[in-house]
Amino acid sequence: MAGEVTVRLPDGSARTLPAGSTAADLASAIGRRLAADALAAEVDGELVDLRRVLPDGATVSIVTPASDQGRAVLRHSTAHVLAQAVTALWPGAEYAIGPAITDGFYYDFDLPGGARFTDADLERIEAEMRRIVGEDQPFVREELAIHDALSMFAGQAYKREIIAGVAQQGEPGFGAEAAGDVAPGATTVSIYRNSDAFVDLCLGPHVPSTGRLGHFKLQRVAGAYWRGDDKRPQLQRVYGTAWESAKALEEHLHRLEEAERRDHRRLGADLDLFSFPPEIGSGLAVFHPKGGLMRRLMEDYSRQRHEAGGYEFVYSPHITKSDLFETSGHLDWFADGMFPPMELDEGQRYYLKPMNCPFHIMIFKSRQRSYRELPLRFFEFGTVYRYEKSGVVHGLTRVRGLTQDDAHIFCAREQMAGELESTLTFVLDLLRDYGLDDFYLELSTKPPGKAVGTDEEWEEATTTLRTVAESMDLDLVLDEGGGAFYGPKISVQVRDAIGRSWQLSTVQLDFQLPQRFAMEYVGADNARHRPIMIHRALFGTVERFFAILLEHYAGAMPTWLSPLQVVVLPVRDDHDAYARHVAATCAAAGLRAEVDPASEPLGARIRRHRMQKVPYVLVVGDDDVPAGTVGVNRRGTKDPDKGVFLDVVVAAVAAEVAAHGLPERGGDVAVVR
């Protein structure tokens, strides 16, 4: 009907407004609070400004701050304010792009005269931003013809490049779908103006005015290459975070602190677990006795499970002649990630191995194989070396020397789906035993231009993996083009105690290496067949898994993985003999226990062992010696449990260890700072 438009709301209801009404009008019509809260709107799946006129029949929802979309809008608007502040403080600064990202935003700049931001500049910029927010400047959208836009951004090379890209092909993310009213091969672009001082090329949407912003904080500066390309100019990137309320901002900053407190590098030093002596080299860790013990416990349990799961244990050397990696294709595809070769007398080149697979293939090929043997599952904690670029090494999670809990399954094609399924089940079960239980799966497909093998092979492998992944009853996300050069993979992503996700296990399907190495087995038909190969690592790498567990538990490892499980504290010297008896009783039950004698006050000793996150601290004094009891301080509890019979405590702890129990996962967080 002329003169009116009818729109549909998220709850299914419809509302009729005068023609020409905007999203803001709709919000007002729904309610005063919504009108005050509204930041933007979603019209037929497209995010738009509140000032957008609503078309008849549209499905509309109002975007408010405390939503993912709302936060994205206000972060992006805050990025604009950042750019406005920087251009005010550095006249002539060029600004490139400034998107919203997870938890925040950034903007990339090219400052006049090659100037660089310093940390101190962040404060000045932030002050200027707060001034702009205080002026409550409206964000005003305009459409410009391409040639007008090019002249408007005459001094802005990066903006001009973006506009030129739009003009050429209607860049993805621009043009038709995003601007809504612009056809593909667009001839116009949109800009946003706030005050006369600042205008930016932008799709929008934006908050109505800068006064709607304010709960933000600039965090750091960093270099970032234009378009992520290290052959192009490096820009100065400013990162910040922005939220819908002071409370949300504060909570986010607190989460960052919490993550820092859990940083495995810090815990590794505090708990004396491992270190990275610069004398050894970047990305090369040493494990100290306590860390070594934890690592051995992790590995031993894994070995036990693998043995029960039908894996056979193999060993292979750390270096090999180049031939092996020429055949495998690694030297063609992975040479950048490998340490340079060692040249021997006869001109023979030896490489440190970056992967274990070719060695396991050699074991397969050491004699003729029969179909009766398949599937063959070879397992090894294989230490490999990868030349990570100096800027990317990070604690134990990105290192240059690493140990994979690596196995290769060789099977007949018809066994493939079944093996994949049992492997995935095995993976998830094992990870749960370490206390991780929040998973999702990711399917990585053929990397364009960086893969070997035919499309048909990739198609078959990918379909098989997808089918198996879908049967797992977990969320599955697609990682287009993320596969290895020899095959697609499923990776298991795990969310830790503070909600971060980590890529752990990978299961890769491989038709290529069996072919390159001319692997075969004799089938029941007495003919030769090519086996399928499945690569899989559950921890990913032992070092990285160690770091993830450490952060997941904030250093308070479950008792079965704690290097020291029980410390016994005699109140006075004359309780020593009984304390030793208590420790010996624990040891006899298979627990790792120590006595810390009374050369220091009790309070000091309690404090030290609590900070070292020992699961059980037992105190014995005058009351305990005659009664055969102990005072039990369980990690994560505030008050001791006094006068508990020794055999009761020992039995309980031993049972907890046997069950891999998790009494209070990370529960002492609030107590120890």
Q: Restricting to residues 223-252, which ones interact with RNA according to CB under 7 A?
A: 223-225, 227-230, 234, 236-237, 239
Site for RNA in 574-593 (CB under 7 A): 574
- Residue 414 CB, shortest distance to RNA, in Å, is 39
611 binds RNA (CB under 7 A): yes
CB 411 within 8 A of CB 532: yes
Give the Cα separation of 649 and 644 in Å (integer): 7
Give the Cα separation of 37 and 122 in Å (integer): 29
Site for RNA in 516-575 (CB under 7 A): 571-574
- Residue 228 CB, shortest distance to RNA, in Å, is 2
- Residue 133 CB, shortest distance to RNA, in Å, is 20
Strand 641-645 to 629-634 pairing? antiparallel
| 203 or 595: CB nearest RNA | 203
Give the Cα separation of 484 and 4 in Å (integer): 56
The DSSP call for residue 369 is E
Does the annotation mark 408 as catalytic?
yes
Site for RNA in 447-486 (CB under 7 A): none
| 137 or 328: CB nearest RNA | 137
The catalytic position among 52, 212, 408, 592 is: 408
Does the annotation mark 489 as catalytic?
yes
- Binding segment (CB under 7 A) for RNA, from list 249-257, 293-301, 535-543, 615-623: 615-623
Among 391, 448, 449, 499, binds RNA (CB under 7 A): 391
Does the annotation mark 357 as catalytic?
yes
- Binding segment (CB under 7 A) for RNA, from list 319-327, 441-449, 634-642, 655-663: 634-642
Both tokens of 66, joined, read 């405390």
282 binds RNA (CB under 7 A): yes
Which residue(s) pair with 193 in the sheet? 140, 199
| 382 or 563: CB nearest RNA | 563
Give the Cα separation of 176 and 353 in Å (integer): 49
CB 503 within 8 A of CB 489: no
| 111 or 357: CB nearest RNA | 111
Does the annotation mark 136 as catalytic?
no
DSSP string, 42-86: EETTEEE-TTPBPPTT-BEEEE-TTSHHHHHHHHHHHHHHHHHHH
Site for RNA in 194-213 (CB under 7 A): 200-203
Strand 376-385 to 312-313 pairing? parallel
Does the annotation mark 264 as catalytic?
no
CB 540 within 8 A of CB 549: no
- Binding segment (CB under 7 A) for RNA, from list 356-364, 508-516, 537-545, 620-628: 620-628
The catalytic position among 236, 404, 493, 512 is: 404
82 binds RNA (CB under 7 A): no
Sequence letter at residue 369: R
Sequence letter at residue 292: G
Among 358, 514, 631, 666, binds RNA (CB under 7 A): 631
The interface mask with RNA, positions 117-156, x = CB under 7 A, is xxx-------------------------------------
Does the annotation mark 404 as catalytic?
yes
- Binding segment (CB under 7 A) for RNA, from list 128-136, 470-478, 494-502, 617-625: 617-625
- Binding segment (CB under 7 A) for RNA, from list 171-179, 480-488, 501-509, 646-654: 171-179
Sequence letter at residue 502: W
| 72 or 484: CB nearest RNA | 72
Decide: helix, strand or coil at residue 618. Answer: strand
- Residue 115 CB, shortest distance to RNA, in Å, is 9
The catalytic position among 206, 262, 489, 634 is: 489
- Residue 359 CB, shortest distance to RNA, in Å, is 29
- Residue 177 CB, shortest distance to RNA, in Å, is 11
Q: How many residues bind RNA (CB under 7 A)?
A: 82
DSSP string, 439-464: EEEEEE-PPTTS--S-HHHHHHHHHH
- Residue 266 CB, shortest distance to RNA, in Å, is 8
Listed in sequence order, the residues at least 6 apart from 101 whose beta carbon sits closer than 8 Å to its beta carbon are 75
Angle between the 68-89 and 119-134 helix axes, to the nearest 10 degrees?
A: 110
Strand 521-522 to 489-495 pairing? unpaired
Which of these, 477, 475, 479, lies nearest to 488 by C-alpha position?
Answer: 479
| 428 or 598: CB nearest RNA | 598
Which of these, 375, 389, 96, lies nearest to 223 by C-alpha position?
Answer: 96
CB 423 within 8 A of CB 409: yes
Sequence letter at residue 437: D
CB 89 within 8 A of CB 96: no
Among 12, 91, 278, 317, binds RNA (CB under 7 A): 278
- Residue 182 CB, shortest distance to RNA, in Å, is 7
| 276 or 511: CB nearest RNA | 276
| 271 or 571: CB nearest RNA | 571
- Residue 139 CB, shortest distance to RNA, in Å, is 12
The catalytic position among 386, 529, 575, 635 is: 386
Site for RNA in 340-359 (CB under 7 A): none
**How far is the CA of 644 from the CAs of 341, 597, 636, in angstroms?**
62, 21, 18
Among 15, 318, 642, 660, binds RNA (CB under 7 A): 642
Does the annotation mark 493 as catalytic?
no
The CA dihedral of 76, 78, 83, 89, to the nearest 10 degrees, is -170
Both tokens of 373, joined, read 């043997």
The DSSP call for residue 391 is G
- Residue 120 CB, shortest distance to RNA, in Å, is 8
| 540 or 631: CB nearest RNA | 631
Among 131, 254, 296, 394, binds RNA (CB under 7 A): 394
Site for RNA in 92-121 (CB under 7 A): 97-99, 101-102, 116-119
**How far is the CA of 466 from the CAs of 437, 441, 513, in angstroms?**
21, 10, 21
| 247 or 394: CB nearest RNA | 394
Angle between the 455-470 and 416-433 helix axes, to the nearest 10 degrees?
A: 50
Give, for 376, the enclosing helix (H) or strand (E).
Answer: strand 376-385
Give, for 153, the enclosing helix (H) or strand (E).
Answer: none
Instruction: Provide the CA 216 distance to its chain's centre, in angstroms.
Output: 24
The interface mask with RNA, positions 18-57, x = CB under 7 A, is ----------------------------------------
- Residue 73 CB, shortest distance to RNA, in Å, is 12
255 binds RNA (CB under 7 A): no
CB 26 within 8 A of CB 60: yes
| 288 or 349: CB nearest RNA | 288
620 binds RNA (CB under 7 A): yes
| Catalytic residue annotation | 357, 386, 404, 406, 408, 489, 535
